[in-house]
Amino acid sequence: MGDESTSGENTSGESASDESTSGEGARRDGASETAQRERAVLGAVPSGLLIGGAWADAAAAATFDVTDPSTGGVIRTVADADADDGIRALDAAVVAQDSWAATPPRTRSDILRRAFDLVRERSEDLALLMTLEMGKPLAESRAEVVYGAEFLRWFSEEAVRVSGRYGQNPEGSGRMIVSQRPVGPVLLITPWNFPLAMATRKIGPALAAGCTVVVKPASLTPLTTLALAGLMQEAGVPAGVLNVLTTTRSGAVSAAIMADPRLRKLSFTGSTEVGRGLLAQAADGVLRVSMELGGNAPFLVFEDADLDRAVEGAMVAKFRNIGEACTAANRFIVHESLAEVFTKRVAERVRAMRVGRGTEAGVQIGPLIDERAVTKASSLLRDAVDRGATVHTGGAVLRGTFFAPTVVSGVPAGAEILRQEIFGPVLAISAFADEDEAVRLANDTEFGLVSYVYTRDLARGHRMIDRLETGMMGLNVGVVSNAAAPFGGVRQSGLGREGGPEGIHEYLATKYTLLPND
Ligand code: NAD
């Protein structure tokens, strides 16, 4: 893939007529307008820590730079919290906890609903901000704003639907009341790949349940969370209920907060490796935990699949979010009778994909988040090729952090790409002979987040629901995420569920009370 396809609008081949000269001027005006708008959106983001309802510098006045992954250029500087700031944020959450828990559910619901409206109103600014700090194409950032906002709306609805039980005990001697109480102050740690949705998926249910929170966004993408926090203040979230810490010292800050006995729960989304370490720390304080960790999703195409649908599903399951999604299809396991035609069809589609800065019109693949991500995708691909796999398109770094969307087939068992999350735009295909082999290959991983299955046989579909060891499954569909659905994994992909009616229960503790009859 050449430079043209990586540089957005292709202006080559125009004549040097007056018309094109004035076209050049118009383009320059357009470019400066765009740059101005980017500056305005970035400039409007609060740069401090949000603690107890006030924006403040880090106590040590430290700051860090946030960069645009497509250029490496600095786009903003934000406060860099240390462990003392972490404890100040927890202090604020603790102070606000009782009154927030006592706030009528309808009031909490109304605030979340206003936050939903504000996010939708400011969706263009939020989408641009996300593209600037994370790199994904603007169309995908817009889709994430819609998806992320839904968690605010869904949990504004759930806030008033928390119910309990009342009944006689089996002995007939007393009445049992089962009620739900907010867990208490919660630490929320989010990743960089979905900067808005991963924050609202935790903040929404926590606030709906009556918990106060300290949010720590990823240091690579703190701006969207800061902007969201500003909107939530506007929506009426009281001081201390939502606190935000941006930091490059994630380990030290979270360890200090987690060692404090006033913290009641940790909700983490990120890699399995970091999650494992946090689980060990949580054991010391016997903290409640929710863990949304890594994935290694199989994408099964059976011999009776609708091939058009399977190709369509593959494109979105693999290339949404530049392949940087925990739900990204990591292993395409295709029946041997279809492997060749499936490979040819997806390779054709991938060859036509447009790579470039996420802000450019028509771009489908933005930059990877950083050099480390590029190195990982490159080395996984090299390992597969060294073991005999064939690259059909892509296969190389185009420039900087831009990795060409790639299709590779004939990936043999044992290849690293089948064991690790690729987190990049590489579609890796292996073949299988029969259903038992497909299931064995699909389950041959320590992860269990999501699986995708393409078949027209309903009975086989049901068998796959039972046999595939994942928390979620897409049956003839390539995206499963929905605010109304319980999102989460089994095995080392995590503990707990986010979204759906289940989501709010992660932030509630069940209380049982017994009363005598007389
Ligand atoms: P990461 O584990 O490196 O970081 C996640 C968060 O933890 C960030 O805020 C980071 O700053 C923080 N962190 C890093 N080290 C820490 C430490 N020692 N102590 C406390 N906090 C620490 O993950 P990432 O690279 O930001 O995100 C990508 C990973 O997240 C992938 O594995 C992906 O599958 C996973 N993910 C999972 C889901 C899900 O719902 N299951 C959703 C999105 C992403």
- The residue from 140, 144, 150, 326 that is catalytic is 326
Q: What's the rounded Cα separation, in Å, for the pair 321 and 134? A: 10
Atom of ligand 1 nearest to the CA of 493: 41
Domain span at 182? 40-292+496-511
Atom of ligand 1 nearest to the CA of 253: 20
Same domain assignment for residues 287 and 304? no
Q: What's the rounded Cα separation, in Å, for the pair 93 and 90? A: 5
Annotated catalytic residue 4: no
Same domain assignment for residues 272 and 315? no
Using CB distances shorter than 6 Å, the residues near ligand 1 are 189-194, 198, 216, 218-219, 250-251, 254, 269-271, 274, 277-278, 292-295, 326, 421, 449, 489, 494
In tens digits, what is the pLDDT along the chain, a chain of 518 residues?
333 333 333 333 333 344 445 667 777 777 888 999 999 999 999 989 999 999 999 999 999 999 999 999 999 999 999 999 999 999 999 999 999 999 999 999 999 999 999 999 999 999 999 999 999 999 999 999 999 999 999 999 999 999 999 999 999 999 999 999 999 999 999 999 999 999 999 999 999 999 999 999 999 999 999 999 999 999 999 999 999 999 999 999 999 999 999 999 999 999 999 999 999 999 999 999 999 999 999 999 999 999 999 999 999 999 999 999 999 999 999 999 999 999 999 999 999 999 999 999 999 999 999 999 999 999 999 999 999 999 999 999 999 999 999 999 999 999 999 999 999 999 999 999 999 999 999 999 999 999 999 999 999 999 999 999 999 999 999 999 999 999 999 999 999 999 999 999 999 999 999 999 98
Same domain assignment for residues 194 and 281? yes
- CATH number, domain of 77, equals 3.40.605.10
Cα(268) to centroid of ligand 1, in Å? 7
Instruction: Using most ligand atoms within 8 A of CB, pick from 271, 273, 327 the residue to mutate for ligand 1.
Output: 271
Q: Could you give the number of structural domains in the chain?
A: 2
Cα(190) to centroid of ligand 1, in Å? 6
pTM > 0.75: yes or no: yes
Q: How far is CA 100 from CA 94, 95, 203, 206, 229, in A?
A: 10, 10, 14, 11, 17
Annotated catalytic residue 211: no
- CATH number, domain of 438, equals 3.40.309.10
Same domain assignment for residues 106 and 211? yes
Residue 32 domain flag: no
Atom of ligand 1 nearest to the CA of 219: 11
